Amino acid sequence: MPQQIAVVTGAGSGIGRAVALELAAAGWVPVLAGRRAGPLRESAALAGGGAVAVPADVTDPASVDALFAEAAERFGRIDLLFNNAGTFGAPTPVEDLAVADWRAVVDLNLTGAFLCAQAAFRQMKAQHPQGGRIINNGSISAHVPRPHSIAYTATKHAVTGLTKSLSLDGRPYRIACGQIDIGNAATDMTAAMAAGVRQADGRIAPEPVMDAADVARTVRHMAELPLEANVQFATVMATAMPYIGRG
């Protein structure tokens, strides 16, 4: 099979790095994007196989355009975007959340996801053979919130709308779009869960986590389907986390 090219955002650590390594092990060539050049280079070195690190700020339209232009120029096409970059933001009661902090989460989680999806869509529509796949990183919070997470939760619900619109608009061009909703993968972002996080009843309690490699294997499965098939939504979560029965 011809080389398959995957753009992975937020690839310097956590789920992004785990997905990049899994795809590379399966023969994909990952183009790794993120704000921090050092961790990106570490991810590329771990992935090997021609992986490329391209520092980029997904909230900046010019930076996103440059990222996808470089990927297309190097490899001639883009087969997959894993739209992963995001932030939780500091847990804050609604009445205390600063507008600047709200906007920072929206800019990264929603506007950044849109800009990357738009750039990938343009490339996938124009290339020959036409088509490709976009996988958006949603969250358990695309279904149910945690306390004091209004900005994160609102953006992850919005990502679901982004996924549905991309799926519909991509049909004429063989562009498939799906979403993976992840619960409690063990990363730097979830490190506090071992010590305890706030529950719906106000208690602070530790929560189980799962290996990020399990998420990566699921993304790989979604990515390797033929474009005639699509996992529209997948939920991968730590089995015993408080989601079923949350609240």
Question: What is the set of active-site residues?
Answer: 152
Please state whether 231 falls in left (phi above 0), alpha (psi between -120 and 50) or beta. beta
Q: Which of 72, 107, 74, 101 is nearest to 89 (CA)?
A: 101
> Is residue 246 helix, strand or coil?
coil
DSSP 99: H
DSSP 187: S
| Count of CB atoms situated within 10 Å of the CB of 233 | 16
Q: Which of 183, 189, 180, 103 is nearest to 146 (CA)?
A: 183
Of all residues in the chain, what percent are helix, strand and coil, respectively (each to 5)? 45, 20, 35
